[in-house]
Structure 1
Amino acid sequence: MNVLGIDIGGSALKGAPVDTKTGKLLAERHRIATPDVLAPKDMALAIKELAAHFNWKGPIGIGFPGVVHGNVIRTSANLHKDFIDLDAGKLFSKVTGLPVSLVNDADAAGAAEATFGAGKGRKGTVLLLTFGTGVGSALFVDGILYPNSEFGHLKIKGKSAECFVSAAAKERKKLSYKKWAHKVSDYLNQLETVLWPELIIVGGGISADYKKWFKYLKLRTPIMPAAFLNEAGIVGAALSAKK
């Protein structure tokens, strides 16, 4: 089954058709920048544009950066507040004229890694974190997902952790990889204390540069980059539509 996987981020949406049997992209990833915060109807039009780019007529799976119950969005920390409590699946399906399913974006990335990537066949507790505009998280125990784990919003100095350790925070504060990695290390140490994961997988665009900053982390847990790097969310979003 082939599905158009779309990963909605804080500054762009990215997508490609995916072979859900293998996890492979069937075309080059297409990106639509969203420098302005899009209201739901405008986001729906951007999704329609992305589908039209591939002349897509089949099902669409979409990863959204927030808590998702069914196709209803419950939180929207980094996107338009009108998404909160919206049946976005219904809206996106109406605008595109295609069947749409939604999933939390980090859960999508985690599903891709658990099915085809760095977490495939791993037993025990596996934590996936995506560092981008915010910090997404997905928690698996023996390959089973605990959905909508929002560890990026744990509090540091009264604010969400992602305000300090996201890739966007690194750029905003003009931190070197070393200084940023020290902050990330402190954050991961907190998660280690609470969750005792047996593997940490890191996704998001900055995962491609893991050799520049993993060496500065001081962890007891093995850590590795996502096998799909920044495409994990696309693949996982497609898998969500397969179910």
Structure 2
Amino acid sequence: MAKAIGVDIGGTGIKAGIVDLEHGIMASDRVRVPTPEGASPQDVLNAVQTVLKTLDVHDSTLPLGVAFPAIVKRGKTLSAANVSKEWIDFDAERFFRDGLGRNIVFVNDADAAGVAEARHGAARDVRGFTLLTTLGTGIGSAFLYDGVLLPNTELGHLNFGEYESVETYAATSARERENLSWAEWAERLQAFYSHIEFLFSPDLFVVGGGVSKNAGDFLPLLDLKTPIVPAIHRNNSGIIGAASLAGD
């Protein structure tokens, strides 16, 4: 069985697991540690070393993929969302490769989730344009056409009225921060999804992030022309997608 390691670095937690690449499922328990305060590159590297020890990974040839909340091009992180600004224009793949002593593939976290759902989840075998969003600390997005990823879209940073961005208005963190009911939050999501539906005319919306486990509380409240479904792999999508890309 072909395997790879997936690590998903978020604003509040770092999750990791070993993935069965053939079936796109977890081949180990998922481990999690809190994201270090400030989330500097060195502190995040130290935390990743901790989760790898917890996973008891000894095979240095096992591919490792890292899902990260940033624009990622040719191994460099070009932005920083909910992590240290030190990550901007940072050679992350080289830094992690040197620090961990193994080959590394860095990918945007929402793109990783999109790959997981396209290969092994809610968007598998879907023709046309799938638009995945992840709802969490922020809003991530992934574009897939006939299963092929178009990387580094950042729909969560769209301007939105008086708000700094749409993610400050409609992310899961906004619901929690403002103590919104499911119905109140759904009104905000309606505005977001209606807007991007008009802009891009997707064939399918997939909604990921931890809140997707509560999809029944808010997705039925949305009125869209495009079908909208929860991610199958939920909070494991980033791990599975990062591992899948590392194994390519």
1:234 counterpart residue number: 239
Matched, 1:89 2:93: yes
After TM superposition, what 4+ stretches of structure 1 lie above 3 angstroms from structure 2?
none
1:134 counterpart residue number: 138
Matched, 1:107 2:107: no
2:52 counterpart residue number: 51
Q: CA deviation at 1:14?
A: 0.4
2:102 counterpart residue number: 98
TM-score where L is the length of structure 2:
0.95
CA distance, structure 1, for counterparts of residue 74 and residue 176 of structure 2 = 34
Alignment map for 1:83-232 (pairs within 5 Å): 83-157=87-161, 159-232=164-237
Q: What amino acid sits opposite 1:217 in the alignment?
A: L
Q: CA deviation at 1:79?
A: 0.9
Fraction of identical pairs, as percent: 38
2:74 counterpart residue number: 70
CA distance, structure 2, for counterparts of residue 77 and residue 53 of structure 1 = 26
CA distance, structure 1, for counterparts of residue 170 and residue 210 of structure 2 = 14
CA distance, structure 2, for counterparts of residue 61 and residue 204 of structure 1 = 18
- Check whether the contact 2:72–2:152 (CA below 8 A) recurs between aligned residues: yes
CA distance, structure 2, for counterparts of residue 36 and residue 168 of structure 1 = 17
Q: CA deviation at 1:40?
A: 0.5
Q: Calculate the aligned-residue CA RMSD, in Å.
A: 1.0
Q: CA deviation at 1:15?
A: 0.7
Q: CA deviation at 1:29?
A: 0.5
CA displacement 1:211-233 (0-9 Å, x = unmatched): 01112111111000001011111
CA distance, structure 1, for counterparts of residue 170 and residue 74 of structure 2 = 29
- Check whether the contact 1:47–1:92 (CA below 8 A) recurs between aligned residues: no
CA displacement 1:89-140 (0-9 Å, x = unmatched): 1111222222211001111000000001110110111100000111010011
CA distance, structure 1, for counterparts of residue 26 and residue 111 of structure 2 = 19
- Check whether the contact 1:7–1:64 (CA below 8 A) recurs between aligned residues: yes
**SS of equivalent residue, structure 1 residue 61:** strand
- Check whether the contact 1:62–1:103 (CA below 8 A) recurs between aligned residues: yes
Distance 1:40 1:64, change over 3 A: same
What count of residue pairs does the alignment treat as equivalent? 243
Greater displacement, 60-69 / 138-147: 138-147
Q: What amino acid sits opposite 2:99 in the alignment?
A: V
CA distance, structure 2, for counterparts of residue 149 and residue 38 of structure 1 = 22
- Check whether the contact 1:3–1:17 (CA below 8 A) recurs between aligned residues: yes
2:18 counterpart residue number: 17
| Stretches of structure 2 lacking an aligned partner (at least 5 in a row) | none
| Stretches of structure 1 lacking an aligned partner (at least 5 in a row) | none
Q: CA deviation at 1:35?
A: 5.8
CA distance, structure 2, for counterparts of residue 66 and residue 160 of structure 1 = 16
Greater displacement, 149-158 / 13-22: 149-158
Q: CA deviation at 1:205?
A: 0.3
Q: CA deviation at 1:37?
A: 2.1
